[in-house]
């Protein structure tokens, strides 16, 4: 596993759970508002790379106090070693939440089939027709994303779909179209736009307008 970040304790990344978080290197999308731009390149900075064995040792050491792991990125399903890594995490009797962009439904299907996931959070980034443009031209298979959405909704595991409200790029009509894409009965969360960390420097100019004095992470 190409791991580029580790947070030993989080109270907000896994609903209702105390969790650790690992971040995988590399993403197949280039969303302009991405606030983890350093995780987009597939190779990444070798100085940031973490030892898989070291991370697993930390998880084992702390599992009595931190019983869950969030695997985020980047895009974790790009990692060929992901199933093996999750099997080792599950062997520690830990719950696993996966954050994904939904671009690889075949990988998701196998992880769900093996019961390696206890919670799945998928980003729904735009109305379907706008997906190629709003992923930096990187999403060439919107049908794969749609397949992942349906797969997650019907998998019988806790899940949530999430959308970042990027007002400079998405209109109220677009937000309505996104909401209509969410399967009935599935939770959908709106996330805050963090322009100061945007992958696209042009969006960073919006930082002052979006600064929230309450430091809120969700805008209704």
Band of the pLDDT at 55, cuts 50, 70, 90? Answer: very high
Bond from prior residue into 17 cis (ω within 30 degrees of 0): no
Give the mean model confidence (pLDDT) for residues 43-62.
Answer: 91
Residue 43 has a pLDDT of 84
Q: How many domains does the chain have?
A: 1
Residue 1 has a pLDDT of 93
Q: Which domain holds residue 37?
A: 3-210
Asked if residue 115 is part of any domain, the answer here is yes
E-strand ranges in 67-170 read 68-72, 95-100, 119-123, 159-164
Asked if residue 216 is part of any domain, the answer here is no
What CATH number did the domain enclosing 201 receive? 3.20.20.70
Asked if residue 217 is part of any domain, the answer here is no
| Tens digits of residue pLDDT in 125-182 | 999 999 999 998 888 899 999 999 999 999 999 999 999 999 999 999 999 999 999 9
Q: Is the pLDDT of residue 220 over 50?
A: no
Asked if residue 152 is part of any domain, the answer here is yes
Band of the pLDDT at 42, cuts 50, 70, 90? Answer: confident
Asked if residue 16 is part of any domain, the answer here is yes
Asked if residue 219 is part of any domain, the answer here is no
Q: Which residues contact 185 (CB under 8 A, 6 or more apart)?
A: 153
| Tens digits of residue pLDDT in 72-130 | 999 999 999 999 999 999 999 999 999 999 999 999 999 999 999 999 999 999 999 99
Return d(Cα 25, Cα 85) in angstroms, integer: 14
Q: Is the pLDDT of residue 218 over 70?
A: no
Asked if residue 95 is part of any domain, the answer here is yes
Q: What is the pTM of this model?
A: 0.92
How many other CB atoms are there within 10 angstroms of residue 121's CB atom? Answer: 21
Asked if residue 218 is part of any domain, the answer here is no
């Amino acid at each position: 596993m190409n791991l580029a970040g580790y947070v030993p304790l989080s109270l907000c990344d896994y609903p209702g759970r105390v969790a650790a978080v690992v971040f995988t290197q590399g993403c197949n999308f280039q969303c302009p508002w991405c606030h983890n731009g350093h995780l987009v390149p597939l190779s990444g900075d070798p100085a940031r790379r973490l030892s898989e064995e070291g991370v697993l040792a930390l998880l084992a050491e702390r599992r009595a106090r931190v019983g869950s792991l969030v695997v985020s990125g980047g895009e974790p399903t790009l990692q060929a070693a992901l199933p093996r890594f999750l099997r080792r995490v599950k062997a520690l009797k830990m719950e696993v939440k996966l954050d994904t962009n939904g671009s690889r439904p075949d990988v998701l299907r196998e992880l769900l089939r093996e019961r390696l996931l206890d919670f799945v959070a998928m980003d729904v980034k735009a109305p379907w027709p706008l997906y190629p443009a709003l992923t930096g031209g990187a999403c060439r298979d919107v049908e794969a994303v749609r397949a992942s959405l349906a797969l997650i909704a019907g998998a019988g595991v806790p899940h949530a779909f999430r959308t970042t409200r990027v007002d400079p790029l998405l209109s109220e009509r677009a937000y309505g179209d996104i909401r209509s894409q969410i399967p009935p009965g599935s939770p959908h969360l709106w996330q805050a736009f963090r322009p100061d960390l945007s992958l696209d420097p042009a969006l960073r100019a919006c930082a002052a307008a979006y600064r929230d004095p309450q430091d809120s992470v969700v805008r209704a």
